[in-house]
Amino acid sequence: LVLGLLIAGGVHATKSVVVRPAVTATTGGAGNIPVSVAEDLTSTIISILSVVVPVIIACILILITSWVIYRLWVRARKTVNS
């Protein structure tokens, strides 16, 4: 969650310091609305991904760990039965 805040804040700082003055100067202000929407959409997507991606990775790690434990358990049972 903190990472999403930092990334969104970084996107906002970039747009207000670098991008916005350049867009305003080159388009006479007409390009500000589409650029603002695109930047806000980007920061929203990145914020959502910063929450969702760690959860997906945790689920994958749990599945891999469960599979490894299962394989070790099956191998241990085979050696006991042999």
pLDDT of residue 82: 67
Please state the rounded mean pLDDT for residues 35-64: 92
Residues sharing a CB contact under 8 Å with residue 80, sequence separation 6 or more, in sequence order: none
How does DSSP classify residue 52?
A: H
Q: Which two tokens stand for residue 77?
A: 């049972």
Question: How far is Cα 40 from Cα 19, in angstroms, rounded to an integer?
Answer: 13
pLDDT of residue 59: 98
pLDDT of residue 81: 78
Question: How far is Cα 77 from Cα 15, in angstroms, rounded to an integer?
Answer: 60
Please state the rounded mean pLDDT for residues 50-55: 94
pLDDT of residue 58: 97
Torsion of CA 37, 34, 31, 25, to 10 degrees: 30
pTM above 0.75, yes or no: no
